[in-house]
Structure 1
Amino acid sequence: MTESFLKPGTPPAPGFARFWQMSGGPRAVLCGEGRPYGYNERIEWADHSYRFRAAGGSCIWMAEPYERHPYEDAYERDKAALEAAGYDVRIDQAEARYNPGRTLPIVITRRNGFYPAA
């Protein structure tokens, strides 16, 4: 991932990669395993998506739309699907990297911690 994706002065996290991988992770749950990548396809709320590794090796998937309300129904539907598949989904302003203070950082993690990214 290029650092130009981030707001100037925001350091990338370890293992930082733009977009979500095609297999494994939340994209596979919402779009189907291994489908070709197309800007997260039907994940309307997943604007400015990326992933990185936390200190313990677990993968964190992020999306930072500028607002959620136009996609509220899709977000709630997808959040329920991710939670049923073993993910935690939360909004956390402290995690913003794309454009802190102007985006709505949606943080997705596996409940069991480590989950290898493809």
Structure 2
Amino acid sequence: MTTHGIDNFQEKLLEPLQLTEENETPGSSRPTHTRIRVRIPKEYNDEPVISRLVSHHGVTVNIAAALLGANARDDGWFDLELRGTSPQIQSALIYLDEMDLEIWGELDTEKDGW
């Protein structure tokens, strides 16, 4: 894992997030949440990446922490809590992955309920 000088930003041992395809199941409409850390390269500073998680994928995003350089000249690191149904969260994670962003998730990330 390349930390890019964010050792203090990461409190727990994290592993790269593994995306898996999920089939619709009867319980897939239950609320759930996951916590991720994502690096958004400076090339995307003008893109509404986090806003699109809400508007295009229907998840609620809580920014628990962020590390962004002055005048947004460097990459940004965001500690995000995503809330929604499993399909919504999966869709949001696929969107981030398709943008080729570096995504780190905690072990045992999904928890039922709010």
Give the TM-score of the pair, scaled to structure 1: 0.38
- Which has the higher Rg, Structure 1 or Structure 2? 2
Q: Which has the higher strand share?
A: 2
